[in-house]
């Protein structure tokens, strides 16, 4: 029994020896915490305050001292305590990730977050970490100089005390799924091994396209990809890329948050959206980009307008070959020619939509009671449904300008 207890004790000491603690400050601690807790080998990432000299700091006190710190007082910086297993991720790799995560040349700010509580810092807990911190700083300074950046202002000092931040700051980005992740990276990275040092760029396709600026471990990027991009089948290409992989684009937006959604025409940015955007809002912005805000299609899709009877698009679509009509924005199939009939009304008419493709809403406008038909994927207005088709069937009266046609064989 004593031998077993001894073995357990030795094993526990070995585990403890591999486990180290270091504290990083790289701007607002929400994104820093999220980034490091996603790295393999990091056991824990906790938001808090380090580097100050007064007792019991809290968020309000730290913010109040960010511009006007009383004489003799050193303010704390928003920090993240990282507990890691150095047999899985080395101290050198972890500290290099810290340098690459933000802009360490900005002094008392990080991007739009200004104040001494956002200053860059490394708080080490042993001599090995100290040595690697200073060594990698010198290496990174040379790389920054070549890229046109200034002098590193990062504090590197021993961790005296770490105060855990309030509970609502812990896992903040998980608790608030609608938003964006600050992106303060310089784009300067440490050299990779030769066989891996292959950088792939994307260049303009020509015409209209959408570029989504992504970042590693950005929860809002993942949510946007899941909620919007995964179901998108439209004909305007969408590509996802890190900001340092763009080549040949003419942009005017600052790529300081992720996701940033760039709407591009012939390599030039038309406009952009910063942060997470839900599907309904995305398709409204896409409609502005694809149709034009003053177009008939946009007015039908988002202002519940109605095509003119026997409009040009109706004439094109009324006698198509066998196939399906799709949502002009999302690319989702909506109606099948097998269910089409000529109602002589001047609008496309169908007995039914493709299963699960539309939703319904009561419409009491113009002193009438009607049932509106809405595309489930994009949320655009399609038309109305009536109970006056031949044989007692329903008549889906649909605007042609918000549809596209695809022959069945394609």
pLDDT of residue 303: 96
The stretches of 66-156 forming alpha helices (DSSP H) are 91-101, 127-146
Asked about 221 being catalytic, the answer comes back as no
pLDDT of residue 336: 97
Domain segments of the chain as ranges: 15-179, 199-277, 303-407
pLDDT of residue 217: 76
pLDDT of residue 1: 54
Q: CA 284, CA 374: separation in Å to the nearest integer?
A: 13
Q: CA 326, CA 18: separation in Å to the nearest integer?
A: 57
Higher pLDDT, 154 or 15: 154
Q: Is the pLDDT of residue 102 over 50?
A: yes
| Complete DSSP assignment for 219-278 | HHHHHHHHHTGGG---SS-EEEEEGGGB-S-B--S---EESEEEEEETTEEEEEEES---
Q: Is the pLDDT of residue 6 over 50?
A: no
Over residues 7-30, mean pLDDT = 70
Q: What is the pTM of this model?
A: 0.71
Confidence of residue 294 (pLDDT cuts 50, 70, 90): very high
Q: Please state at what angle helix 29-37 crosses helix 91-101, rounded to 10 degrees.
A: 140
Q: Which one-letter DSSP state was computed for residue 346? A: S
Over residues 157-181, mean pLDDT = 86
Confidence of residue 193 (pLDDT cuts 50, 70, 90): low
H or E stretch covering 350: strand 348-350
pLDDT of residue 356: 96
Which overall architecture, per CATH, does domain 199-277 show?
A: 3-Layer(aba) Sandwich (3.40)
Residue whose structure tokens are 């824990």:
44
Over residues 186-205, mean pLDDT = 74
Over residues 212-232, mean pLDDT = 90
Over residues 15-44, mean pLDDT = 86
Q: CA 315, CA 318: separation in Å to the nearest integer?
A: 6
How far is Cα of residue 17 from the mean position of the Cα atoms in its chain? 37
Mean pLDDT estimate for the chain: 90
pLDDT of residue 346: 94
Domain spanning 303-407: which CATH class is it, in words? Answer: mainly beta
Q: Is the pLDDT of residue 234 over 60?
A: yes
Q: Is the pLDDT of residue 383 over 80?
A: yes
Choice among 138-152, 194-208, 216-230, 300-314 with the minimum mean pLDDT: 194-208
Confidence of residue 199 (pLDDT cuts 50, 70, 90): low
In tens, the pLDDT along 236-278 reads: 999 999 888 899 999 999 998 999 999 999 999 999 999 999 9
Highest mean pLDDT among 109-113, 194-198, 396-400: 396-400
Confidence of residue 36 (pLDDT cuts 50, 70, 90): very high
Instruction: Give per-residue burial for 332-366: e unless 16+ CB within 10 Å, then b.
Output: bbbbbbebbeebeeebbbbbbbbeebbeeeeeeee
The CA radius of gyration of the chain, in Å to the nearest whole number, is: 28
Q: CA 385, CA 350: separation in Å to the nearest integer?
A: 9
The gap between the terminal CA atoms of the chain, to the nearest Å, is 73
pLDDT of residue 197: 47
Closest CA to 40 of 94, 77, 108, 98: 94
In tens, the pLDDT along 340-367 reads: 999 999 999 999 999 999 999 999 988 8
Among candidate residues 28, 181, 218, 397, the one labeled active-site is: 28
From residue 359, alpha-carbon distances to 349, 362, 376, 382 in Å are 17, 11, 6, 10
Q: CA 99, CA 103: separation in Å to the nearest integer?
A: 8
Confidence of residue 11 (pLDDT cuts 50, 70, 90): very low
Q: CA 298, CA 305: separation in Å to the nearest integer?
A: 9
Higher pLDDT, 212 or 14: 212
Q: CA 380, CA 285: separation in Å to the nearest integer?
A: 12
CATH for the stretch 15-179: 3.30.1060.10
Q: Is the pLDDT of residue 192 over 90?
A: no
């Amino acid at each position: 029994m004593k031998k077993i207890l001894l073995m357990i004790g030795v094993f526990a000491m070995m585990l403890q020896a591999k486990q180290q603690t270091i504290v990083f400050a790289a701007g607002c601690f929400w994104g820093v915490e999220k980034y490091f807790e996603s790295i393999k080998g990091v056991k824990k990432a906790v938001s808090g305050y380090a580097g100050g000299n007064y007792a019991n700091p809290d968020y309000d006190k730290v913010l109040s001292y960010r511009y006007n710190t009383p004489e003799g007082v050193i303010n704390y910086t928003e920090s993240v305590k990282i507990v890691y297993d150095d047999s899985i991720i080395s101290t050198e790799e972890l500290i290099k990730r810290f340098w690459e995560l933000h802009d360490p040349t900005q002094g008392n700010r990080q991007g739009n977050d200004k104040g001494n509580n956002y200053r860059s810092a490394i708080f080490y807990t042993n001599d090995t970490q100290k040595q690697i911190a200073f060594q990698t700083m010198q290496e990174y300074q040379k790389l920054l100089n070549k890229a046109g950046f200034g002098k590193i202002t990062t504090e590197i000092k021993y961790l005296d005390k770490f105060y855990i931040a309030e509970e609502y700051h812990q896992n903040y980005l998980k608790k608030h799924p609608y938003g964006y992740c600050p992106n303060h990276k310089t784009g300067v990275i440490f050299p990779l091994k030769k066989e891996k040092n292959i950088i792939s760029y994307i260049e303009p396709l020509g015409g209209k396209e959408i570029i989504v600026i992504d970042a590693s471990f950005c929860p809002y990027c993942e949510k946007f990809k899941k909620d919007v991009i995964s179901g998108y089948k439209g004909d305007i290409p969408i590509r996802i890329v890190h900001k340092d992989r763009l080549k040949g684009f003419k942009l005017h937006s600052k790529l300081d948050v992720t996701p940033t959604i760039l709407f591009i025409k012939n390599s030039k940015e038309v406009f952009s959206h910063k942060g997470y955007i839900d599907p309904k809002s995305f398709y409204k912005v896409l409609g502005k980009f694809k149709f034009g805000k003053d177009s008939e299609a946009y007015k039908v899709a988002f202002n519940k307008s109605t095509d003119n009877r026997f409009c040009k698009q109706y004439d094109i679509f009324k006698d198509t070959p066998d196939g399906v009509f799709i949502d002009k924005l999302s690319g989702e199939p909506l109606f099948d020619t097998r269910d089409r009939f000529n109602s002589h009304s001047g609008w496309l008419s169908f007995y039914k939509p493709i299963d699960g493709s539309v939703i319904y809403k009561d419409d009491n406008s113009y002193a009438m009671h009607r049932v509106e038909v809405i595309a489930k994927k994009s949320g655009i207005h399609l038309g109305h449904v009536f109970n006056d088709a031949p044989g007692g069937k329903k008549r889906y009266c649909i605007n042609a300008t918000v549809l596209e046609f695809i022959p069945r064989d394609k």
